[in-house]
Amino acid sequence: MHQLRQFNNDFMRHLFNLLTFDARNKNPYSIWKFCPRKQLDQAHGKLQFCEFCKPDLFPFIFWLVLTLSIWGFACTLKQTLKLLRCPNSKLGMWRQREFHVFGAKVLHSARLLGSCAIITSWCMLIVGLVMLKPRLMSPWIVINSVVLGGEFIVWVYDVMTGHTLLELHTGLTLMLPFLNLMMVRCVKVVMEHSLKNHVEDSLRIF
């Protein structure tokens, strides 16, 4: 006659490990798994609540960040070469500014120095994305956070003093870089967690 016996703790722990092994070592984030229909169904709700860093949207976020990084590097390099060839050329900026305190030579030197720093941060960001090195993405995040913070303060001051009208174009010039910053931050956090849990294979390009 068969008898029922109580399972000991070691057996239950072993059984639990077998059942949860795949779940713990499977990374839900991947840069290759696209599911357009699912993203279209959920995009509106996720964007509404700012839930960008989700597995189903991550492939689009990653490749968009990489594309924008290459484009940003190319644009900054082009502008830097223009400043080197034509010292008296007009400065191109994301948001139009008028400076009445600093001279043209000082502005040119500051812009050239800033362009070199931004080029370096773009290079580090691209290498970090391709080689899966999240720490190389930190300089770009820091620089852009400081720049956006300063831009927002100046924009609020201009609006309050009546120098700038509250227009859609002005808001977009602030929101689009902020959105890009959020996406880069999302990729960095996912990479850090994936490396920590040793499930980074689905994030590698090569």
Q: What is the mean pLDDT of the segment spanning 115-122?
A: 94
Average pLDDT of 108-127?
90
Q: Would the pLDDT of 187 be above 70?
A: yes
Average predicted confidence (pLDDT) for the chain: 78
Of residues 101 and 155, the one with the higher pLDDT is 155
Provide the 8-state DSSP code for 197.
T
Task: Collect all residues with Cβ–Cβ distance below 8 Å to 192 and sequence separation of at least 6.
Answer: 134
What's the CA gap between 136 and 129, in Å, rounded? 9
- 181-206: b (≥16 Cβ within 10 Å) or e: bebbbbbbebbeebeeeebbebbeee
Using the Cα atoms of residue 9, residue 13, residue 14 and residue 18 in order, give the sign of their dihedral. Answer: positive
Considering only CA atoms, which of 130, 30, 25, 15 is closest in space to residue 73?
130
What is the model's pLDDT at position 47? 43
Query: What span, in angstroms and rounded, lies between the C-alpha atoms of 124 and 184?
Result: 13
Contact 116, 81 (CB under 8 A): no
Q: What share of the chain has pLDDT > 90, as a percent? A: 35
pLDDT over 50 (residue 29) = yes
The rounded distance, in Å, linking the Cα atoms of 5 and 190 is: 45
Map out the domains of the chain as residue ranges. Answer: 35-199
pLDDT, position 141: 96
pLDDT for residue 44: 45
Lowest mean pLDDT among 30-44, 57-71, 81-95, 185-199: 30-44
Residue 58 host element (H or E): helix 58-85
Task: Examine the pLDDT at 129 and tell me if it is beyond 60.
Answer: yes
